[in-house]
């Protein structure tokens, strides 16, 4: 999906919502366990209930890999079912030396190799340029680099002083020399909304993938106040608050209601910013 296609989706759906498919087989409704692939059945119903309200889906690979072969089969089936006009993000957070990164890229971006070809992948930049460039070989794919996270542990490293500013600022400035805003996004946690002003100095045009709204307590209004751009420039993820809105037979309807509530808030923010 190109940058312009993403912007068009945002305007068309009046939304910049990403639904996180962090599907835990121990948390899904019990009746789904009677299906041949309970995880996929859950994802399928969530997708059907929310696809007109969001612009992205983001399976977290850990929730699938922990189940071995069955989990990977569920992940492949989920990718196959995702609407191809909606941005598909694999939240893998991979980071390794070049030849290993090349195989990680092949695993998630090369359909002929793995049966999956996500539009975007999250990566960690700790090992530098040669851990990121293998993903850039895949034309049209987005690389989403971890910059500033909502986690308590973000203070351990991300705020360390360097010669070029705080470490997360250095990451953004350096990564922007590897590719442009049509290929690179950055992960910035919603609970760090006041830092968005500084981040926009270094990444004025990049889309930011923003987890932490909803169950993690981040404020959508604050994220937009400090981070929205003329093209929106934000993809805000909500996972648990949507997919686990109910644990009963009505889980898909409850997920839709929660997604609709967020979409309506996003529509108001897009109107306020003059994007719609």
Residue range 39-85, pLDDT digits in tens: 999 999 999 999 999 999 999 999 999 999 999 999 999 999 999 99
Please check the confidence at residue 167 and state whether its pLDDT lies above 90.
yes
CB 207 within 8 A of CB 197: no
Catalytic residue among 70, 93, 174, 225: 93
Residue 151 banded pLDDT, cuts 50, 70, 90: confident
Please check the confidence at residue 214 and state whether its pLDDT lies above 70.
no
Residue 134: closest CA among 162, 94, 164: 94
30-40 pLDDT per residue, tens: 999 999 999 99
19 Cβ contact list (under 8 Å, min separation 6) = 46, 47, 50, 54, 56, 57, 58, 237, 238, 239, 242, 243, 259
The beta strands (E) that lie in the chain are given as 17-21, 56-59, 87-94, 120-123, 142-148, 161-162, 165-166, 184-188, 207-210, 234-238
Q: How many Å separate Cα 77 from the centre of its chain? A: 19
In this predicted structure, what is the pLDDT of residue 219?
Answer: 87
In sequence order, the β-bridge partners of residue 188 are 148
In this predicted structure, what is the pLDDT of residue 212?
Answer: 79
93 among known catalytic residues: yes
Dihedral sign from CA coordinates of 264, 266, 268, 270 = negative
Strands 17-21, 142-148: pairing is unpaired
Q: At what angle do helices 98-109 and 129-136 cross, to 10 degrees?
A: 30
In this predicted structure, what is the pLDDT of residue 246?
Answer: 97
In this predicted structure, what is the pLDDT of residue 132?
Answer: 95
Q: How many Å separate Cα 14 from the centre of its chain? A: 18
What would the mean pLDDT of 160-182 be, rounded to a whole number?
Answer: 95
CB 188 within 8 A of CB 235: no
Q: What is the largest CA-CA distance in the chain?
A: 57
CB 251 within 8 A of CB 213: no
CB 53 within 8 A of CB 259: yes
Residue with the bigger pLDDT between 191 and 202: it is: 202
Please check the confidence at residue 252 and state whether its pLDDT lies above 90.
yes
Alpha-carbon distance of 186 to 206, in angstroms, equals 7
Residue 17 banded pLDDT, cuts 50, 70, 90: very high
Q: How far is CA 94 from CA 157, 184, 201, in A?
A: 18, 15, 26
In this predicted structure, what is the pLDDT of residue 215?
Answer: 59
Please check the confidence at residue 217 and state whether its pLDDT lies above 80.
no
Dihedral sign from CA coordinates of 5, 20, 249, 15 = negative
Q: Exposed e or buried b for every residue in 24-56, given b needs 16+ CB within 10 A?
A: ebeebbeebeeeeebbbbbbbbbbebbbebbbb
- Percent of the chain scoring above 90 in pLDDT: 91
98-121 pLDDT per residue, tens: 899 999 999 999 999 999 999 999
């Amino acid at each position: 999906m190109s940058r312009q296609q993403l912007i068009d989706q945002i305007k068309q759906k009046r939304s910049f919502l990403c639904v996180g498919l962090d599907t835990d087989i121990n948390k899904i409704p019990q009746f789904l366990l009677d299906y041949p692939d309970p995880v996929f059945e859950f994802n399928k119903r969530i997708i059907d209930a929310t696809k007109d309200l969001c612009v992205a889906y983001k399976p977290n690979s850990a929730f699938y890999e922990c189940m071995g072969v069955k989990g990977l089969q569920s992940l492949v089936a989920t990718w196959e079912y995702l609407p191809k006009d909606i941005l598909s993000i694999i939240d893998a957070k991979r980071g390794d030396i070049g030849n290993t990164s090349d195989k990680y890229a092949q695993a998630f971006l090369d359909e002929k190799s793995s049966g999956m070809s996500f539009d975007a992948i999250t990566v960690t930049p700790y090992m530098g340029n040669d851990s990121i460039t293998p993903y850039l070989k895949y034309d049209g794919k987005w690389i989403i680099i971890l910059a500033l996270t909502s986690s308590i542990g973000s203070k351990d490293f991300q705020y360390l002083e360097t010669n070029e500013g705080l470490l997360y600022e250095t990451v953004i400035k350096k990564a922007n020399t590897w590719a442009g805003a049509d290929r690179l996004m950055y992960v910035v946690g919603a609970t760090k909304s006041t830092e968005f002003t500084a981040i926009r100095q270094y990444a004025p045009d990049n889309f930011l993938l923003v987890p932490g709204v909803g169950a993690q307590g981040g404020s959508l209004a604050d994220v937009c106040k400090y981070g929205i751009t003329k093209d929106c420039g934000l993809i805000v993820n909500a996972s648990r608050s949507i997919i686990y809105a109910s644990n009963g037979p009505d889980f898909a309807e409850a997920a839709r209601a929660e997604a609709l509530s967020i979409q309506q808030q996003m529509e108001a923010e897009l109107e306020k910013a003059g994007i719609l």
